[in-house]
């Protein structure tokens, strides 16, 4: 961004020459907090100029304040005032003269030969807190590890960004766990010409090697303006697979569990797997469903997440390949707005299961269709929908939603979450569902505020 940069401590800074309509970025940094901001602005008041932009960063007492101005005269007096203010407040003063023709600054890294993509062309960005390059796309990267983000991982993550010429524009720490930073949110400026397929493959390898989730999503107006969250039920909102629990009471759990595992990994078509498993339940007492309800264990963070989302005005739904009585129970327990699932057929006297289902089967395609139906009913677009699931039959709705989250997902789903589709699912491989809020950019302080009055 700068054709000319002059930096020095206190009043010894050498100022650029003044001329009418010249743009200059004035930066003052010092240990006196808001006084630094006041010192700069007080100097600007007495001179003819326009303020085009400004930015501020703080590290405890130390503040760095930058303001982009356009001079309206040839008078150099403003630089004398700024130098005097810097000396008064023990501050560092610098000037930058923007130039859209400036080449990218020289890179001082031995890894330059391994960089991916062409060198960037500089330009004046819309905002001072954006990287000064053209042809960029904004992304948010949420980094999660409930056991803490380790220095080795953060170093490799930084080297990853350097390799792909990704500029970090902002870093926000979000959560701490026992005093260790466990979640951070990066705003990234990504070259528009990058091979996103290769990037996502390398990102998946980096994430897997450290057991640390890296959720990459477009950083646009829809990121924090989602309005509907659709959940899978089994192994997502609850820890169990309900058909396995029914089968346990029916004495066929081993047979059913084997089919369930194959279906969730995508080895068997879901409709066929459901037909086989339900057939094994023929003759089972309907009272088993009440027993299963009592044995269900909700996933850590499920109650908190749903209550927090309701506070924020979201509509919530469960769309399950399980069964209606249990989906309705989960809906009531978590305060959800919608519940869809498969309906088990019962005998003429209502006492036993017949080993069949009634109505359309809620498979992967049906889940995506129901997501659309609910979104239309609520008057929101798919980009305003979050879908959370773990199995292969969730992939359709994860890809349909503006933000799809593979939560502690099966291997096939983990792999698909690294594929290059524009809305490829993000991954959360942590214990708690509360980290869904982290992917929306909410901090630990935000979560504490959302947990109040419960």
Query: Cβ distance 432 to 301 under 8 Å?
Result: yes
User: Is 202 an active-site residue?
Assistant: no
User: Which residue among the candidates 234, 244, 363, 390 is catalytic per the annotation?
Assistant: 234
Q: Which residue in the list 232, 244, 390, 394 is annotated as catalytic? A: 232
Six token digits for residue 382: 């798919």
Residue 231: partners with Cβ closer than 8 Å, 6 or more residues away: 237, 316, 317, 318, 319, 336, 387, 388, 389
Rounded Cα distance, 332 and 319, in Å: 14
Q: For 295-333, give the DSSP string.
A: H--BPTTHHHHHHHHHHTT-EEEEEEEEEHHHHHHHHHH
**Angle at Cα 163 formed by Cα 135 and Cα 206, nearest 5°?**
115
Residue 234 annotated in active site = yes
Looking up tokens 């199995």 gives 391
Listed residue (192, 232, 241) closest to 393, CA to CA: 232
| Sign, Cα dihedral of 79, 85, 90, 95 | negative
Say whether 57 sits in a helix, a strand or coil: strand
The catalytic residue positions are 232, 234
């Amino acid at each position: 961004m700068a054709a000319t940069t002059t930096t020095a401590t206190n009043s010894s800074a050498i100022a650029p020459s003044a001329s009418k309509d010249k743009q200059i970025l004035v930066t003052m940094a010092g240990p006196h907090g808001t006084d630094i901001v006041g010192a700069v602005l007080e100097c600007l008041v007495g001179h003819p100029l326009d303020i085009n932009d400004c930015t501020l960063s703080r590290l405890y007492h130390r503040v760095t304040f930058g303001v982009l101005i356009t001079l309206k005269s040839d008078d150099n007096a403003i630089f004398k005032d700024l130098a005097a203010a810097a000396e008064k407040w023990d501050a560092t003063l610098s000037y930058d003269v923007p130039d859209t023709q400036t080449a990218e600054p020289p890179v001082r890294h031995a890894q330059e030969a391994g960089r991916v993509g062409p060198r960037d062309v500089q330009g004046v960005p819309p905002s001072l807190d954006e990287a000064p390059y053209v042809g960029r796309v904004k992304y948010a990267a949420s980094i999660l590890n409930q056991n803490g983000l380790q220095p080795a991982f953060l170093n490799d993550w930084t080297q990853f960004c350097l390799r792909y010429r990704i500029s970090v524009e902002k870093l926000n720490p979000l959560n701490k766990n026992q005093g260790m930073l466990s979640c951070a949110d990066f705003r990234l400026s990504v070259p528009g010409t990058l091979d996103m397929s290769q990037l996502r493959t390398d990102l998946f390898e980096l994430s897997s090697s450290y057991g640390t989730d890296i959720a990459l999503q477009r950083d646009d107006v829809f990121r924090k303006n989602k309005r509907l969250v659709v959940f899978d039920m089994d192994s997502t909102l609850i820890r169990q697979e309900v058909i396995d629990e029914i089968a346990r009471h029916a004495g066929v759990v081993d047979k059913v569990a084997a089919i369930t595992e194959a279906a969730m990994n995508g080895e068997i078509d879901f409709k066929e797997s459901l037909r086989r498993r339900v057939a094994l339940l023929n003759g089972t007492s309907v009272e088993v469903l009440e027993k299963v309800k009592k044995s269900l264990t909700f996933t850590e963070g499920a109650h908190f997440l749903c209550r927090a989302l309701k506070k924020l005005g979201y509509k919530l739904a469960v769309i399950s390949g399980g069964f209606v009585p249990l989906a309705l129970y989960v809906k009531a327990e978590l305060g959800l707005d919608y519940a869809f699932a498969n309906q088990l057929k019962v005998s003429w006297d209502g006492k036993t299961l017949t080993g069949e289902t009634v109505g359309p089967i809620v498979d992967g395609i049906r889940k995506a269709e129901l997501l659309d139906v609910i979104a239309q009913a609520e008057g929101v677009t798919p980009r305003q929908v979050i879908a959370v699931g773990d199995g292969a039959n969730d992939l359709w709705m994860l890809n349909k939603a503006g933000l799809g989250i593979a939560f502690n997902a099966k291997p096939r789903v983990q792999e698909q979450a690294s594929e290059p589709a524009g809305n490829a699912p993000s991954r959360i491989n942590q214990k708690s569902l509360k980290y869904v809020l982290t992917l929306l950019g909410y901090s630990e302080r935000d979560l504490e505020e959302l947990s109040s009055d419960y």
